[in-house]
């Protein structure tokens, strides 16, 4: 009973205050800003005979405006990369389903060929996931542990096997030319998605935009305590830390989101997508394959 109450309270708390995946790096950064702000306050209060010149505050305001423009662009670009990657994996799920649906309806292969084809389609999705995360040999793809092939580009190798199987069914008379033309867009879509994902991965946000944003953030957080301490005293420490939390948190989150194929909490759940493909393929083809768990 007590365990159930604790779990309910925990779910309510997590719904109200969800954890921030970048909190470790963010907390260290905000702590550094807090220490710097305390030092600035002590200098202003005890060592400076006069308040900091007015132009420091004016420059900080101008810098904040420019920083807002850069931050908006950075967030938009990072999210667009994440959303494009999500749409591509949605397309891969749809193409995999349609490919299996048309193969089952048009070729109607026997049970062993259905299992082998389902293994190819699911293995392709897993191979793409591994490929986008640095690559794994074919033997590490579920269902191909005993395969002796050592292709450099594993997804392309498995896609080639899909086309080879379609050709074999065409040669055996199980598929007509018209049916092959109907299936081809979905088979071709496998490598289309892989290539588009490679494009997203290899085309990060230009370095100049990231550098300008980080330079602006650092300059703003370095200058803000000087004019705020003169106006707000020790309250300036809390104000600057709050600004640092959101400025640095947004930048660190954008850094995570712009690389959507990793294994961080902000990245796409590629393993779940692969298992969705497995469930669809096994249901459509009437076969049984183990769940994709890694």
pLDDT digits (tens, 9 = 90+) for 182-210: 999 999 999 999 999 999 999 888 888 78
What sign for the dihedral angle of Cα 70, 71, 74, 77?
negative
221-262 per-position pLDDT tens digit: 888 888 787 777 788 889 889 888 988 888 888 888 888 998
pTM: 0.85
Q: Percent of the chain scored above 90 by pLDDT?
A: 53
pLDDT, residue 17, reads: 62
Give the count of beta carbons closer than 10 Å to the beta carbon of residue 231: 12
pLDDT, residue 1, reads: 45
């Amino acid at each position: 009973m007590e365990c159930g109450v604790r779990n309910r309270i925990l779910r309510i708390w997590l719904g109200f205050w969800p954890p921030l995946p970048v909190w470790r790096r963010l907390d260290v950064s905000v702590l550094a800003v807090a220490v710097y702000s305390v030092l600035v306050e002590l200098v202003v209060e005890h060592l400076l005979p006069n308040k900091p010149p007015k132009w420091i505050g004016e420059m900080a305001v101008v810098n904040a405006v420019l920083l807002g423009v850069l931050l908006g662009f950075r967030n938009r670009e990072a999210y667009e990369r994440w959303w494009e990657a999500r749409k591509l994996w949605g397309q891969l799920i749809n193409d995999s389903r349609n490919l299996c649906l048309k193969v089952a309806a048009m070729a109607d292969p026997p049970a062993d060929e259905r299992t082998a084809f389902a293994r190819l389609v699911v293995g392709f999705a897993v191979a793409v996931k591994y490929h986008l995360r640095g690559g794994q040999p074919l033997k590490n793809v579920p269902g191909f542990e005993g395969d002796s092939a050592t292709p450099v580009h594993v997804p392309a190798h498995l896609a080639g096997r899909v086309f080879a199987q379609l050709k074999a069914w065409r040669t055996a008379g199980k598929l007509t030319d018209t049916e092959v033309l109907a299936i081809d867009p979905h088979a071709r879509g496998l490598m289309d998605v892989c290539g588009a994902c490679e494009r997203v991965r290899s085309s990060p946000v230009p370095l100049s935009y990231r550098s300008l944003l980080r330079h602006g953030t650092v300059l703003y957080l370095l200058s803000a305590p000087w004019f705020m301490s003169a106006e707000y005293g020790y309250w300036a420490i809390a104000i600057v830390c709050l600004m640092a939390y959101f400025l640095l948190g947004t930048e660190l989150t954008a850094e995570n989101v712009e690389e959507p194929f990793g294994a961080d909490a902000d990245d796409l759940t590629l393993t779940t997508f692969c298992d969705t493909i497995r469930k669809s393929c096994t249901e459509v083809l009437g076969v049984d394959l183990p769940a994709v768990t890694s």
